Amino acid sequence: MSATPAGGTSARLLISCPDRPGIVAAVSGFLFAHGANIVSSDQHSLDPEGGRFFMRMEFTTEALDLGRDELGREFAREVGDGLEMDWRLSYADEPKRMAVLVSREEHCLLDLLWRNRRGELDAQVELIASNHPDLEPDAAAFGIPYHHVPVPPGGKPEAESALLELLEGRVDVVVLARYMQILTGAFLDRVGVPLINIHHSFLPAFAGADPYRQAERRGVKIIGATAHYVTEELDAGPIIHQDVARVSHRDGVPELERLGADIERAVLARAVKLHLDDRLLVHEGKTVVF
Amino acid sequence: MSATPAGGTSARLLISCPDRPGIVAAVSGFLFAHGANIVSSDQHSLDPEGGRFFMRMEFTTEALDLGRDELGREFAREVGDGLEMDWRLSYADEPKRMAVLVSREEHCLLDLLWRNRRGELDAQVELIASNHPDLEPDAAAFGIPYHHVPVPPGGKPEAESALLELLEGRVDVVVLARYMQILTGAFLDRVGVPLINIHHSFLPAFAGADPYRQAERRGVKIIGATAHYVTEELDAGPIIHQDVARVSHRDGVPELERLGADIERAVLARAVKLHLDDRLLVHEGKTVVF
Amino acid sequence: MSATPAGGTSARLLISCPDRPGIVAAVSGFLFAHGANIVSSDQHSLDPEGGRFFMRMEFTTEALDLGRDELGREFAREVGDGLEMDWRLSYADEPKRMAVLVSREEHCLLDLLWRNRRGELDAQVELIASNHPDLEPDAAAFGIPYHHVPVPPGGKPEAESALLELLEGRVDVVVLARYMQILTGAFLDRVGVPLINIHHSFLPAFAGADPYRQAERRGVKIIGATAHYVTEELDAGPIIHQDVARVSHRDGVPELERLGADIERAVLARAVKLHLDDRLLVHEGKTVVF
Amino acid sequence: MSATPAGGTSARLLISCPDRPGIVAAVSGFLFAHGANIVSSDQHSLDPEGGRFFMRMEFTTEALDLGRDELGREFAREVGDGLEMDWRLSYADEPKRMAVLVSREEHCLLDLLWRNRRGELDAQVELIASNHPDLEPDAAAFGIPYHHVPVPPGGKPEAESALLELLEGRVDVVVLARYMQILTGAFLDRVGVPLINIHHSFLPAFAGADPYRQAERRGVKIIGATAHYVTEELDAGPIIHQDVARVSHRDGVPELERLGADIERAVLARAVKLHLDDRLLVHEGKTVVF
């Protein structure tokens, strides 16, 4: 959202720590002392009296008096350690490496690839993997490697091993763009990077299978989609973004699926962008979105 | 939504029947033959092959060749009986008599009374009843009788009897404008008119008590409100209207309540208007909204 | 929106005529007599006393007792001529032939082609023409012929002739999917089919060039896009559909363009779908949308 | 939006100055040194290289080591003067004094008074003034003094003088809640406090008189309302907030007015709240909204 400087690059500092007076002064003082100019700043406190404090600062790096590694070490030493901070530094010119998992429906995948191509999503898309071969031509049109990793009945362990081999150490984030397989806790433990999923309902309504059928049966007047970080408990991870569309008695399940596809791709793309731009912090099963 | 004729009045015919060819021709032919001019028409079919068919027609009554009672009798004889119709005729110049039940929160009540006063809701508001005395001054400002019917612990049967005495035979619809008491099935059976409730969540998410607290805990990014007809199963009646508002990690429970109040009053007012204008049909736990 | 019957096909009858009693009865009586079952019906009257009346009926054609040509002739003879109707019959199994004109920006074109491929837009896309060669690979990925028709300074007459040669007699509708050339009145006269344009502002605000720059300068808090039929007066044709997005002081012109692109493609796709499904009537510079 | 601390009060510091490195560090360092704890912080820069910089900080005041007057003087001396800042300090426990000007339509006025009564708008409503006597009973129901200041043809100078006598020195902000008189530049100069107006269109579309009639004539599919600060040029002041509603060919001018009333009251209430909470800065005819 905020304008990045035309020349040079920018860095983002994400912080989570116990709230106390002086945090903003300490961080901004440190950055000023080392030649950074803060171009954007967001903060949130759960409770100024002993709650958790969250902050995101974006700053220019042209005039920094330290290298990237040094800056991190100095920040820890001068500020972070003393204030018991969890913190993360990232740079706009080091885009995250991303994998997309998908099944047969192409709308979310295509939208991500198209936004990536036009520079809207700042990621290096390393690979696409799918339990079906159908979307290989779409991947090819964007020049992204496509891996068909089938999941036959009883074959989930082998499939997850194959996926892990593709992913481990090679990507920074995995996006489930309508990947219709449930991933095991063992897989999530081993993959070691965040996963973002799009669920085709307005969670927590209609968790689980066939949400549009559930919605049609209940006669709701609005449907939605939810992008969330994946945790072992199905459809219960921290919600990143949601959106909705108005429907009526005229809309049967096929119409809900069609309308829903538009929301799904928009919500997922937005959630992925927030993650890529380092605008998300997770705390106690919920997200702080800067 | 549709413009009613400037002079004279208009009538609305609501129909539900098994679908088959010729229904529109039969109804419109009947109305034309008796001098009605159709100014608005909506229809919906669950399945042209043997599904249920729903229709709403609004027509001018100035040139009718029959009186109101006669028109109904003739319609049954010439059209309705043969096509196994459930049907209902109502007239724009016979506004429905309405009661509002409320507890301590005034926003929904005030909005209904204000819209009624400015002619937007075409109802005759007969009375307000509450389990608390707090909102009597607001009712007085609009000149509506206010009945304090307390519900002490263990006193629900007496309270429901008192309410029934106020309502039976005197109103055509009851609106629960944040009435925080659960009404028993026995009450619903006896009151004999539709009840419209506003639930302060985007049903089916967060049914039951304290929906804003539930929403805050789950970290949703959108909250909502749902107006529905009341059935014995709590928060499970046919949904009439829903709307939502975007929220963020910054919004604690008080902010959700404040934002939610705006949605609640808008959603309830819209649902009540749809009911008053005879735009709602219920079928298998869902509404058709014309 | 309304469900079409599973078996057989359906037809749509669009009518505009002076309002008077008996129109619905006459049309529905005619359709019933010839074996059509009405599955959807919409009507609108500007004024029941002598205003213009508009109607759209969708009906099944399986049991029709007449051929398609005969049905039209009979309808004119039995109903249309007597009631001074402008009317149009079309069949769901005869999709419209469509051309897309585009310049350099691909988002609207890609969305149309993708929705067409997945069966959401019921058109036969005959060709794409552009004043730039850039988007040929995108067209090729969807297997659609791409014609580069440059418009050098002073070369508009030749370009329009070339376009007319491509279009005349070969398409039923032309979509301007961010085609950044103004078409002359002479061209519009000769092309002889409706043209749908997407303008990247919330018309009538910011007509003309550079609407996002105008919006940024004025400091609006919401931007929009407008799909309209093309008339000789620039950006003044009948509006078909509009949508908006919220923006803030943080959004410079590039952000407005990015956010706007999402609205543009959605609004144009919706407008094209309404046209393809015969849901649009034009009267006195405005659309009736059924 | 942001949570204020439970105990004590909070202050807001609004800053506008030329951008340069070190501003955040200087301000947050000053506040920390004097015992303030920053609970919320927003900033915006038009251009880190020599553009304008805007900031809003909210902080607790319980542990301040200076009085309110002293704090301002010290801030100017230690920070503000050196950095060429325009700045403003305000305290949550010193609500702004507000006047409302209104004509005959009550919806905006009632909504403001209701939100003020329930504590949602933190203002001291000093008086209501109107060129009509109609809304006196509504003002009385909320216990607010109501002044009837008629504006007969040719009587605007006298009316404005009477208004100035009511307002000068007694209010901090004036809200035009559908006040249908144009105020002269002379009046605006003399009243000396900001005025917030609600215009019943989506500006810049349909500026001037009768916007709903203009909207109906143009056939737009969305209508809106705009709250803005008043400047001498009619309907051209800095836009604070806007919102919209979807309309169709079915909506004549009366329906647009009814739908529009709901947007108007919501947009105006939101704009007034933003002003009361010191979330607005004006720069070159546009607002920065924190």
Three-state secondary structure along chain A?
CCCCCCCCCEEEEEEEEECCCCHHHHHHHHHHHCCCEEEEEEEEECCCCCCEEEEEEEEECCCCCCCHHHHHHHHHHHHHCCCCCEEEEEECCCCEEEEEEECCCCHHHHHHHHHHHCCCCCEEEEEEEECCCCCHHHHHHCCCCEEECCCCCCCHHHHHHHHHHHHCCCCCEEEECCCCCCCCHHHHHHHCCCEEEEECCCCCCCCCCCHHHHHHHHCCCEEEEEEEECCCCCCCCCEEEEEEEECCCCCCHHHHHHHHHHHHHHHHHHHHHHHHCCCEEEECCEEEEC
Whole-number Å distance between alpha carbons of C91 and C68 = 9
Q: What number is the average pLDDT over the span A166-182?
A: 97
**What are phi and psi for residue C281, nearest 5 degrees?**
-125, 140
Between strands D10-18 and D86-91, the pairing is antiparallel
CB contact under 8 A, D28 and A31: no
Name the residue among B6, B21, B41 with its Cβ closest to that of C41: B41
Residues with Cβ within 8 Å of residue D73, at least 6 apart in sequence: none
Whole-number Å distance between alpha carbons of A267 and B222 = 12
Strand order in the sheet with C195-199: C146-148, C123-130, C96-102, C173-176, C195-199, C222-229, C239-246
Which of the other chains make 3 or more beta carbon contacts under 8 angstroms with chain A? B, C, D
Q: Does the pLDDT at position D2 exceed 90?
A: no
Q: Does the pLDDT at position B126 exceed 50?
A: yes
Q: Are residues B149 and B252 in the same domain?
A: yes
**Residue among A19, A235, A251, A278 flagged as catalytic:** A235
CB contact under 8 A, D25 and A36: no
D235 has catalytic annotation: yes
Q: Are residues A76 and A143 in the same domain?
A: no
Question: What is the per-residue pLDDT for B287?
Answer: 98
Q: Are residues C102 and C72 in the same domain?
A: no
Contacts with D110 from chain B: Cβ below 8 Å? 114
Between strands D195-199 and D222-229, the pairing is antiparallel
> Is the CB of residue C44 less than 8 Å away from at least one CB of chain D?
yes
CB contact under 8 A, B1 and D262: no
> Is the CB of residue D18 less than 8 Å away from at least one CB of chain A?
no
Question: What is the per-residue pLDDT for A4?
Answer: 41
Question: What is the per-residue pLDDT for B6?
Answer: 37
Residue A161 has a CB neighbour count (10 Å cut-off) of: 13
Q: Does the pLDDT at position B286 exceed 70?
A: yes
Residue environment code for B244-263, b if the CB has 16+ CB neighbours within 10 A, otherwise e: bbebebebbeebbbbbbbbb
Contacts with B114 from chain D: Cβ below 8 Å? 107, 110
Nearest C-alpha neighbor of A8 from the set A49, A50, A62: A62
Whole-number Å distance between alpha carbons of C46 and B210 = 47
Nearest C-alpha neighbor of C74 from the set C30, C36, C38: C30
> Is the CB of residue A120 less than 8 Å away from at least one CB of chain C?
yes
Examine residue D123 and state whether it is found in any structural domain, yes or no. yes
**Secondary structure, 3-state, C117-140:** HCCCCCEEEEEEEECCCCCHHHHH
Q: Residue A47: which CATH number?
A: 3.30.70.260
The residue segments making up the domain with residue B105 are 96-289
Name the residue among A110, A120, A248 with its Cβ closest to that of C114: A110
D80 contacts B218 by C-beta, under 8 angstroms: no
Examine residue D189 and state whether it is found in any structural domain, yes or no. yes
Distance from A187 to chain C by nearest Cα, in Å?
33
Percent of the residues in chain A that have a pLDDT greater than 70, as a whole number: 97
| Predicted TM-score (pTM) above 0.90 | yes
State pLDDT tens for residues A248-268.
999 999 999 999 999 999 999
Tens of each residue's pLDDT in chain C, 290 residues = 334 433 468 999 999 999 999 999 999 999 999 999 999 999 999 987 889 999 999 999 999 999 999 999 999 999 999 999 999 999 999 999 999 999 999 999 999 999 999 999 999 999 999 999 999 999 999 999 999 999 999 999 999 999 999 999 999 999 999 999 999 999 999 999 999 999 999 999 999 899 999 999 999 999 999 999 999 998 999 999 999 999 999 999 999 999 999 999 999 999 999 999 999 999 999 999 99
C210 contacts C137 by C-beta, under 8 angstroms: no
B234/A114: higher pLDDT: A114
Examine residue A180 and state whether it is found in any structural domain, yes or no. yes
Q: Residue C155: which CATH number?
A: 3.40.50.170
Q: Are residues C52 and C174 in the same domain?
A: no
Examine residue D4 and state whether it is found in any structural domain, yes or no. no
Examine residue B142 and state whether it is found in any structural domain, yes or no. yes
Mean pLDDT of chain B: 94
Distance of CA A64 to the CA centre of its chain: 29
Contacts with B5 from chain C: Cβ below 8 Å? 48-49
> Is the CB of residue D208 less than 8 Å away from at least one CB of chain C?
no
DSSP 8-state secondary structure symbol assigned to residue C78: I
Examine residue C83 and state whether it is found in any structural domain, yes or no. yes
Name the residue among B32, B60, B63 with its Cβ closest to that of C25: B32
Question: What is the per-residue pLDDT for D17?
Answer: 97
Percent of the residues in chain B that have a pLDDT greater than 70, as a whole number: 97
Q: Give the DSSP per-residue string, C4-35.
A: PPSSS-EEEEEEEEE--TTHHHHHHHHHHHTT
Name the residue among D110, D118, D250 with its Cβ closest to that of B114: D110
Strand runs (DSSP E) across C21-179, as ranges? 37-45, 52-60, 86-91, 96-102, 123-130, 146-148, 173-176
ipTM over 0.90: yes
Q: Are residues D144 and D258 in the same domain?
A: yes
Whole-number Å distance between alpha carbons of D261 and D200 = 8
Distances (CA, A) of B166 to B159, C232, D258: 11, 65, 33
Interface A-D: count of C-beta contacts within 8 A = 72
Instruction: Select from C42, C70, C91 the last residue of a domain.
Output: C91
- Give the H/E segment covering residue D156: helix D156-167
Q: What number is the average pLDDT over the span A275-287?
A: 97
Q: What number is the average pLDDT over the span A205-224?
A: 95
Q: Are residues C259 and C134 in the same domain?
A: yes
CB contact under 8 A, D221 and C244: no
Q: Are residues D109 and D41 in the same domain?
A: no
CB contact under 8 A, C28 and B32: no
Whole-number Å distance between alpha carbons of D178 and A4 = 40
> Is the CB of residue B287 less than 8 Å away from at least one CB of chain A?
yes
Nearest C-alpha neighbor of B128 from the set B149, B156, B157: B149
CB contact under 8 A, C25 and B31: yes
Residues with Cβ within 8 Å of residue B80, at least 6 apart in sequence: B15, B87
CB contact under 8 A, A21 and D37: yes
> Is the CB of residue B110 less than 8 Å away from at least one CB of chain D?
yes
Q: Are residues D126 and D235 in the same domain?
A: yes
Q: What number is the average pLDDT over the span B131-159?
A: 97
From the number of C-beta atoms within 10 Å of its C-beta (0-12, 13-18, 19+), residue A141 rates as middle
Contacts with B259 from chain D: Cβ below 8 Å? none
Whole-number Å distance between alpha carbons of C112 and C125 = 10
Q: Are residues D190 and D213 in the same domain?
A: yes
Mean pLDDT of chain A: 94
Distances (CA, A) of C277 to A168, A249, C96, C271: 49, 19, 9, 10
Q: Are residues A118 and A228 in the same domain?
A: yes
Phi-psi region of D145 (alpha: psi -120 to 50; beta: other; left: phi over 0): beta
Residues with Cβ within 8 Å of residue B84, at least 6 apart in sequence: B17, B18
Examine residue C149 and state whether it is found in any structural domain, yes or no. yes
Tokens of D218: 């143009």
Q: Are residues A30 and A126 in the same domain?
A: no
Residues with Cβ within 8 Å of residue B124, at least 6 apart in sequence: B95, B96, B97, B98
Instruction: Select from C91, C122, C152 the last residue of a domain.
Output: C91
**Secondary structure, 3-state, chain B:** CCCCCCCCCEEEEEEEEECCCCHHHHHHHHHHHCCCEEEEEEEEECCCCCCEEEEEEEEECCCCCCCHHHHHHHHHHHHHCCCCCEEEEEECCCCEEEEEEECCCCHHHHHHHHHHHCCCCCEEEEEEEECCCCCHHHHHHCCCCEEECCCCCCCHHHHHHHHHHHHCCCCCEEEECCCCCCCCHHHHHHHCCCEEEEECCCCCCCCCCCHHHHHHHHCCCEEEEEEEECCCCCCCCCEEEEEEEECCCCCCHHHHHHHHHHHHHHHHHHHHHHHHCCCEEEECCEEEEC
Tokens of C133: 């060669």
State pLDDT tens for residues A10-50.
999 999 999 999 999 999 999 999 999 999 999 999 987 88
Whole-number Å distance between alpha carbons of B140 and D175 = 28
Nearest C-alpha neighbor of D204 from the set C211, C53, A225: C211
State pLDDT tens for residues B236-273.
999 999 999 999 999 999 999 999 999 999 999 999 99
Interface A-C: count of C-beta contacts within 8 A = 25
Question: What is the per-residue pLDDT for B8?
Answer: 64
CB contact under 8 A, A2 and C262: no
Q: What number is the average pLDDT over the span D140-168?
A: 97
> Is the CB of residue C60 less than 8 Å away from at least one CB of chain B?
yes
Contacts with C141 from chain A: Cβ below 8 Å? 141
CB contact under 8 A, A24 and D21: no
Question: What is the per-residue pLDDT for B119?
Answer: 94
Quick one: CA dihedral A264, A266, A267, A269, positive or negative? positive
Instruction: Select from B91, B106, B134 the last residue of a domain.
Output: B91
> Is the CB of residue C43 less than 8 Å away from at least one CB of chain B?
yes
State pLDDT tens for residues A61-73.
999 999 999 999 9
Q: Does the pLDDT at position B5 exceed 50?
A: no
C176 contacts C198 by C-beta, under 8 angstroms: yes
Q: Are residues D100 and D194 in the same domain?
A: yes
Q: Which residues pair with B130 in a beta bridge?
A: B102, B148
Whole-number Å distance between alpha carbons of C99 and C94 = 16
Alpha-carbon Rg of chain B, whole angstroms? 21
> Is the CB of residue D289 less than 8 Å away from at least one CB of chain A?
no
Question: What is the per-residue pLDDT for A49?
Answer: 81
Which of the other chains make 3 or more beta carbon contacts under 8 angstroms with chain D? A, B, C
D125 contacts D144 by C-beta, under 8 angstroms: yes
Number of domains in chain C: 2
Examine residue A2 and state whether it is found in any structural domain, yes or no. no
Positions of C marked catalytic: 235
Contacts with D36 from chain A: Cβ below 8 Å? 21
Place of tokens 């959630």: A271
Question: What is the per-residue pLDDT for C7?
Answer: 43
Q: Give the DSSP per-residue string, C240-282.
A: EEEEEEE--TT--HHHHHHHHHHHHHHHHHHHHHHHHTT-EEE
Q: What number is the average pLDDT over the span D34-62?
A: 92
Q: Does the pLDDT at position D153 exceed 70?
A: yes
Interface of B with D in 217-256 (CB under 8 A): 248, 250-252, 255
Distance of CA D63 to the CA centre of its chain: 30
Percent of the residues in chain B that have a pLDDT greater than 90, as a whole number: 93
- Give the H/E segment covering residue C107: helix C107-117
Distance from B93 to chain D by nearest Cα, in Å?
19
From the number of C-beta atoms within 10 Å of its C-beta (0-12, 13-18, 19+), residue C241 rates as buried
Q: Does the pLDDT at position D7 exceed 60?
A: no
Instruction: State which residue of chain B sits closest to D138, comparing Cα positions.
Output: B141
Percent of the residues in chain D that have a pLDDT greater than 70, as a whole number: 97
